[in-house]
Amino acid sequence: MSTQQEFFDALLDPERPCPGGLVTWNQSDPERRFAVYRNNVMVSLMDALADAFPVVQELVGEEFFRAMAKRFVLTHPPRSRILAYYGREFPSFVDAFPAAASVPYLGDVARLEMLRILAYHAADAKVISPSEVAAALADEAGLSELRLQLHPSLAVLRSRHAVVSLWGAHQGLFDIATVDPTQAQTALVVRTGLDVNVVGIDIATGTFFEQLLRGFNLAQAAASASDIPSFDLAGSLGTLLRWQGISTMGA
């Protein structure tokens, strides 16, 4: 009987022959049965990518997407039984895929879609109320050391392209003909309840959130974002409260 590695290698490489030693329960041709199984696995993985990146597929069309997805499957086979996260490397793969060079924003759209998946499956966490935040901010003595623990689902994506608008247009929020893909945008991704939200934020607010995610305290994060003239601390905190993005607070 073939080893598991031989079987795995042949399963995802159509150029390899059927592994030796295979038998079938009904004495049918093992090579023919293996070819069918190999095709089913390939199609299933391509379908999984299509489900994970529907906007990417809509942007380039099904035929192009499936050709790109097939190449990805061949070079990045699953390493886990959990297919929910399959495709984490797909955005970087898209960036380097020569045939997609004419769609420079495609990789970042894929990143946004993967962040939505990660947010949906992120751990649950309690949410701080506005009154708790107000009380903490009123404590001037402890304000400089105050740390905000953001919700596990929260992430920020900076892009040189209009990823928020491109994604939103494919949700029917507005006409894609009005979107300028070259407009840089920053996205906030966060889950409230079971709903994953994609929110456009300015670059200063995105910088502030990124610093909080890195573990900096409130004063340090605000100081870093203050290098950008448009930074509004009250407005940024308001955005976190609106989307229930703060889990805990403390020194």
The domain segmentation of the chain, as residue ranges, is 1-103, 123-251
Encode the chain in three state secondary structure. CCCHHHHHHHHCCCCCCCCCCCCCCCCCCHHHHHHHHHHHHHHHHHHHHHHHCHHHHHHHCHHHHHHHHHHHHHHCCCCCCCHHHCCCCHHHHHHHCHHHCCCCCHHHHHHHHHHHHHHHCCCCCCCCCHHHHHHHHHCHHHHCCCEEEECCCCEEEEECCCHHHHHHHCCCCCCHHHCCCCCCEEEEEEEECCEEEEEEECHHHHHHHHHHHCCCCHHHHHHHHCCCCCCCHHHHHHHHHHCCCEEEEEC
Query: What is the model's pLDDT at position 250?
Result: 82
pLDDT in tens, 54-72: 999 999 999 999 999 999 9
pLDDT in tens, 116-169: 999 999 999 999 988 998 888 888 777 778 999 999 999 999 999 999 999 999
Predicted structure pTM score: 0.88
Q: Does domain 123-251 have CATH number 3.90.930?
A: yes
Return mean pLDDT, the chain.
89
